[in-house]
Structure 1
Amino acid sequence: MSDGKLALVIGAAGGVGFETARALLRHGWRVRAMVRDVARAPRLDGAVWVQGDAMCAEDVMTAARGAAVIVHAVNPPGYKNWPKLVPAMLANTIAAAEAHHARIVLPGTVYNYGPDVMPVVREGDAQNPRTKKGKIRVAMERALEHSKARVLIVRAGDFFGPHAGNSWFAQGVVKPGAPLKSVVYPGKRDVGHAWAYLPDFAETIARVLDRESDLARFERFHFGGHYFERGVDMAECVREAVGAPRLPIRGFPWLAVLALAPVVPLFREMAEMRYLWRRDLKLDNFKLVRFLGAEPHTPIITALRETLIALQCLPGAQRSELGAEKELALIV
Structure 2
Amino acid sequence: MKKVLVAGATGGMGYALVQELRRRNIEVIAFARGEQKLKELFNNMPGVAVRAGDALLEKDIIHAADGADVLFHAISFPYQEWETTHPLALKNMLRAAKGQEAKFALVDNIYAYGRQTDSPIDEAAKKEPHTKKGSIRLEMENVIKTSGVPYLIVHMPDFYGPNAGNTVLNETLKNVALNKTANFIGSPSLAKEFLFTEDGAKAMIELALRENAYNQNWNIPGVSPITGNEMKDLLQTEWNYSKNFRTVSKTMIKFMALFNPFMKELIEMMYLYEQPVLLSGKKYEEQIGPLARTSYKQGIKITLDYMKSNR
TM-score of the superposition, structure 2-length normalised? Answer: 0.90
Q: CA deviation at 1:97?
A: 1.0
2:24 counterpart of 1:27 = yes
Decide which of 272, 275, 278 is 2:271's aligned counterpart: 275
The verdict on how the C-alpha distance between 1:137 and 1:275 changes in structure 2, with shifts beyond 3 A counting, is: same
Consecutive unaligned residues in structure 2, runs of 5 or more: none
> Could you tell me the percent identity over the aligned residues?
26
Match of 1:214? 212
Contact 2:187–2:249 (CA under 8 A) maintained in structure 1: no
Residues 89-104 of structure 1 aligned to structure 2 (within 5 Å): 89-104=89-104
Match of 1:308? 304
* Alpha-carbon distance in structure 1 between the residues aligned to 2:188 and 2:93: 40
Q: CA deviation at 1:83?
A: 0.6
* Alpha-carbon distance in structure 2 between the residues aligned to 1:305 and 1:109: 24
Residues 195-274 of structure 1 aligned to structure 2 (within 5 Å): 195-211=194-210, 213-216=211-214, 218-228=215-225, 230=227, 232-244=229-241, 247-261=243-257, 264-274=260-270
Aligned residue identity for 2:208: L
Match of 1:320? none
Decide which of 34, 37, 40 is 1:40's aligned counterpart: 37
The verdict on how the C-alpha distance between 1:255 and 1:112 changes in structure 2, with shifts beyond 3 A counting, is: same
Deviates more, 1:232-241 or 1:8-17: 232-241
List per-residue Cα deviations over 1:57-113 (Å, max 9, x = no partner): 11211222221100111123x554211111000000011111211111111101222
Q: CA deviation at 1:178?
A: 5.2
Deviates more, 1:259-268 or 1:162-171: 259-268
Deviates more, 1:96-105 or 1:253-262: 253-262
Q: CA deviation at 1:229?
A: 5.6
Counterpart of 2:224 in 1: which secondary structure? strand
Q: CA deviation at 1:193?
A: 0.9
2:120 counterpart of 1:120 = yes
Contact 1:177–1:311 (CA under 8 A) maintained in structure 2: no
Residues 69-108 of structure 1 aligned to structure 2 (within 5 Å): 69-76=70-77, 80-108=80-108
Aligned residue identity for 1:254: K
* Alpha-carbon distance in structure 1 between the residues aligned to 2:237 and 2:156: 24
* Alpha-carbon distance in structure 1 between the residues aligned to 2:54 and 2:266: 28
* Alpha-carbon distance in structure 2 between the residues aligned to 1:265 and 1:82: 13
Residues 137-176 of structure 1 aligned to structure 2 (within 5 Å): 137-171=137-171, 173-176=172-175
Aligned residue identity for 1:303: G
Name the count of aligned residue pairs.
307
Consecutive unaligned residues in structure 1, runs of 5 or more: 313-322
Contact 1:130–1:272 (CA under 8 A) maintained in structure 2: no
The verdict on how the C-alpha distance between 1:117 and 1:103 changes in structure 2, with shifts beyond 3 A counting, is: farther
